[in-house]
Amino acid sequence: MKTGERPENFALTNTEGEKVSLHDLIENQKVLLLFFPFAFSDVCTGEMCTMRDNMKMYNSLDANVVGISVDSFFSLRAFKKANNLNFILLSDFNKEVSRQFNCLYDDYFGAKGVSKRSAFVINQEGIIEYSEILDDSDKLPDFKGIYQALKS
C-alpha cells in the first residue's frame, strides 16, 4: 500500500480477544499502524517501548497508535503487559492484513510469513498519508516523517 491509496477495511484481534476494525480505529482520528516482526525480539521491543514513551506526543496529535504483528493475541497480551504498553496491539495471526499492505516477508530467518517493520498513517477518510516498509528489520521507521504526516 502506498501514499494516496485506500486500504480495505479489516478486523483483527486485540490483546483482550476482541475484534477491532480499521473503521473503528479511524472513526475520529488518524491512525498510525506499526507492523513489526515479533513480540519480545530486541528491536521490536525497543520500537514499541519508544512508542510507549512518546504517547503524550501522539495523543497531542490526536493519533491512534496501533502495533500489529503475526504473533497470537495471547503472545501480544503478555508482550503488552511485560512492557507496560499503553496503546493497542493487534494480532494478524493469519497474515491477511500484512499481505494486504504488502509488508510480509516470504522468509524471515526460516519463519514463513512474518510482518516487515512498516509504518502507515491513515486519515479519517481512510486514505494512506504516509507509507514506509523496511526490508531490514534492524532499522526503525522514520519517526520524524511519521510525526510530520500526523501533524499535517
Return the CATH number at 117.
3.40.30.10
- Whole-number Å distance between alpha carbons of 92 and 15: 12
Would you place residue 28 in the very low, low, confident or very high pLDDT band (cuts 50, 70, 90)?
A: confident
Would you place residue 38 in the very low, low, confident or very high pLDDT band (cuts 50, 70, 90)?
A: very high
What mean pLDDT is reported for the chain? 96
User: What is the tally of structural domains in the chain?
Assistant: 1
In a domain, 19, yes or no: yes
List residues with catalytic annotation: 44
79 pLDDT above the threshold of 90: yes
Which residue range(s) make up the domain with 48? 11-151
In a domain, 1, yes or no: no
113-123: burial string, b at 16+ Cβ within 10 Å, e else: ebbbbbbbbbb
pTM for this entry: 0.96
C-alpha dihedral, 21 to 27 to 28 to 29, nearest 10°:
50
In a domain, 115, yes or no: yes
In a domain, 131, yes or no: yes
